Amino acid sequence: MMVPHSSRCDGPDGSSHGTSRACRITRITSYVFLASVLLWTFVSCFVGVAHAQVSISLTPLLIELTGAPGETKTFNILLVNESKTATAHFRVFASDVVQKPNGDYRVVEPGESEYSCAKWIRLSKEEATLGPGEALSVDCKLAIPRGTYGGRFAAVVFELVPEERTGEEAFASTKFLQRFATVVELAIPAPRVRKAVTIAGFSVKAAADDPRYAAAYGKDALILIGEVRNEGNTHVFARGYLTLRDGSGKRLRQIPLGSGRGLVLPETTVNLVSVLPSGLAPGNYIADIAVKYGGTRPALAKVPFTLAPSGAEARRVEGGARLAPFNVQPAELDLTYPPGAVAARSIVVENKSDVPIHVEGRALPLVYDEEGKLVQDEAALAAAPAKWSCAGWIELRPATMDIRPGGKQMVRLMINIPKDQAGSRYANLVFTGTPVEDQGGARQDAAAASPAASPASPAWAGEAGALVFLTVGKQAEKLAELGELKIEDGGPSVGWIFSTALKNTGATHLKPQVTFGIKRHIVPESVPGIEYVGPGSWQEVDSVDLGELDSIVLPGGTRLIRAGYARALEPGRYMVEVTVKYGGKAPLYVSGEFEVKQP
């Protein structure tokens, strides 16, 4: 990424030479986020003069930290001059980072980001000179102030200082400043940390309209772009998937939306992009988008679009939309009432856009599949056991509303609990937002009405909601069991895959925390005259911490648990032990063995 800077040029006597050609200075700065990169640094004075070639490596490129207010975290960054003859001079400092729509980081000046931790970082070195083959180790201390929470971010920057120029050369030169950056991502857990993601837009592009895409994927390809905005105060990892439906709503296929880590910084919009290399046949379609990010429910939206014939070389794409974001607070309602109670609670629907929206609410059964995805299919919801649902006990007042730009609407939940019921019950409160109809009956889009939408089919439909956890009477005991551990060798490019299944055998929901521990079997070496015949021991070599799973496991439900391990292991015998903490009297364990053979 290139960040140009321009400066005035003053002569030796202090007089200004303005921008005359004889003393024009151009300063260009580029940031590098690669582990090892080859640099060319030169200064030009009418005729460019090449200087020494410098090869630099930086480790690590990313620091991920979790800390509490008042805590100090430490980390180390290693910079190596891998050149054989060149000497490199560096400035070292901390700066802010922001995120571009393609997900890449951009380093900016300190103070530009509201979510910065650059001023909290103290460095052991502020400048250094590295000769050929020399290394610089920078110790970093990050002191987290009290009263802070959420996500904070910074970059430790290593700026390669160009050689100084004197005399006439200094008045007509171009300086290229190369900067390397290690990004710091800090999470500060606290009750006020809020994860909230909305789908801000969706568009479809024909590769034939963009030579870059056409060259990479072919002229028939379609580019699907979902815009995801982080409305919370900490970073999230967005995992999107798009269910492609025909104009009648029939499911055609499901594809991932986006790739990579999927990290989205607070108050940032990032594009999740996928490509259909073979394109689609002409017709009407619906993009049914879901984005999981670690919140209580995924961000959901539906956007229709049309692929119309437009000659032999390309097809015209119509549709796509800018969505009006809205949310529901609180996102979870944890309620306890006695049998036969009649209760009322309130939630707030907020329109966070600059256009009016129409919102319709309803109470549905809460159902998750084995992958932890929220079930939306009406047939699947109808087939779910009614035993654990309280959706039929809830009435929303009002259930239909128009909300002005930036406005809020309070909705009351009237809960009528039957006298003969007890135990845990659940409901999914779903609010669907669409453009408000104007007086002529045509729907308004947040930016422009979709050509693919008819008056009966809105240009877009977004979804938000809240989950209801209702306990009638006493809280039930939490019970669960783990299935057999399966171990698969995915080959050199994938690594080992460990999987098991958690079954909720109790009468209330679970929120599991999962860790995979990897141990190696060690047998002491025999010595002359003594042969070891014991069973040996297991030595822990690594672990994979999945943390708390991002969706609950309902009573009677099953959740598949998987972990991949791609690091190289030495030949030998290994054991994987899975530990699941779920709120019961004791954690659950399951283990299995596998062997890494000689290559």
Q: Which of 287, 289, 347, 276 is nearest to 319 (CA)?
A: 287
- pLDDT at position 265: 96
Helix (H, G, I), strand (E, B) or coil at 298: coil
103: phi then psi, degrees, rounded to nearest 5: 95, -10
Are residues 7 and 28 in contact, defined by beta-carbon separation less than 8 angstroms?
Answer: no
Q: How far apart are CA 289 and CA 299, in angstroms?
A: 8
Whether pLDDT at 181 is above 50: yes
Beta bridge partners of 581: 513
Question: How much is the pLDDT for 377?
Answer: 80
Give me the residue spans of the domains in the chain. 2-188, 197-319, 326-472, 480-596
CB 129 within 8 A of CB 89: yes
Q: What is the pLDDT of residue 392?
A: 95
Q: Compute the average pLDDT of residues 296-304.
A: 91
State the average pLDDT over residues 35-45.
Answer: 30
- 12 — pLDDT class (breaks 50, 70, 90): very low
pLDDT at 446: 37
Query: Terminus-to-terminus CA distance in the chain, angstroms?
Result: 41
pLDDT, tens digit, for every residue of 574-592?
Answer: 999 999 999 999 999 999 9
Shared fold status for 326-472 and 480-596: yes
Q: How confident is the model at residue 456 (pLDDT cuts 50, 70, 90)?
A: low
Long-range contacts of 436-439 (CB under 8 A, 24+ apart): 436/355, 436/356, 436/357, 436/358, 436/402, 437/358
Q: Is 2-188 in CATH node 2.60.40.10? A: yes
Band (pLDDT 50/70/90 cuts) for residue 200 is very high
Does 362 score more than 60 pLDDT?
Answer: yes
Instruction: Please tell me the pTM assigned to this model.
Output: 0.77
Q: What is the pLDDT, as a whole number, of residue 37?
A: 32
Instruction: Assess whether pLDDT exceeds 80 at residue 436.
Output: yes
> Which of 37-46, 137-146, 251-260 is the most confident on average?
137-146
Average pLDDT value for residue range 438-457: 43
Q: What torsion do the CA atoms of 98, 100, 102, 103 make, to the nearest 10 degrees?
A: 10
Comparing 117 with 26, the larger pLDDT belongs to 117
Enter the tokens of residue 558: 């099953």
Say whether pLDDT at 84 is over 90: no
pLDDT of residue 467: 95
Residue 282 contacts residue 307 (beta carbons within 8 Å): yes
Tell me whether the omega of the peptide bond preceding residue 512 falls within 30 degrees of 0, making it cis: no
Which residue has better confidence, 86 or 7?
86
In what helix (H) or strand (E) does residue 380 lie, and over which residues does it extend? helix 378-383
Task: Give the span between the Cα atoms of 586 and 320, in whole angstroms.
Answer: 50
Q: Which of 208, 211, 450 is nearest to 315 (CA)?
A: 208
Query: What is the per-residue pLDDT for 376?
Result: 82
Cα angle 109, 111, 117; round to 5:
100
Q: What is the pLDDT of residue 330?
A: 92
Structure confidence at residue 8 as a pLDDT band (50, 70, 90): very low
Which segment, 315-319, 435-439, 466-470, 527-531, is predicted with the most confidence on average? 466-470
Q: What is the model's pLDDT at position 174?
A: 54
Contact 333, 349 (CB under 8 A): no
What is the structure's pLDDT at 532?
Answer: 62
- Give the pLDDT band (50/70/90) at residue 5: very low
When pLDDT is cut at 50, 70 and 90, the band that residue 199 belongs to is very high
Q: Of 6-10, 169-173, 348-352, 457-461, where does the model show the most confidence?
A: 348-352
Residue 50: per-residue pLDDT: 39
Name the helix (H) or strand (E) containing 213.
helix 211-217
Average pLDDT of the chain is: 84
The answer to whether the beta carbons of residues 236 and 197 sit under 8 Å apart is: yes
pLDDT of amino acid 457: 63
530-560 pLDDT, tens digit per residue, is 666 667 889 999 999 998 888 899 999 999 9
Which has the minimum average pLDDT: 23-27, 65-69, 214-218, 324-328?
23-27
Confidence tier at 515 by pLDDT (50, 70, 90):
very high
Contacts (Cβ under 8 Å, ≥6 apart) of 166 = none
| Nearby residues of 400 by Cβ (< 8 Å), 6 or more positions away | 358, 359, 360, 361
**Residue 233: predicted pLDDT:** 95
For the segment(s) 480-596, the CATH number from 2.60.40.10, 3.30.420.40, 2.40.160.60, 3.40.190.10 is 2.60.40.10
CATH topology of domain 326-472: Immunoglobulin-like (2.60.40)
pLDDT > 90? residue 485? yes
CATH number for the domain running over 197-319: 2.60.40.10
- Is the pLDDT confidence value at 291 over 60? yes
* Helix spans in 8-64 (H): none
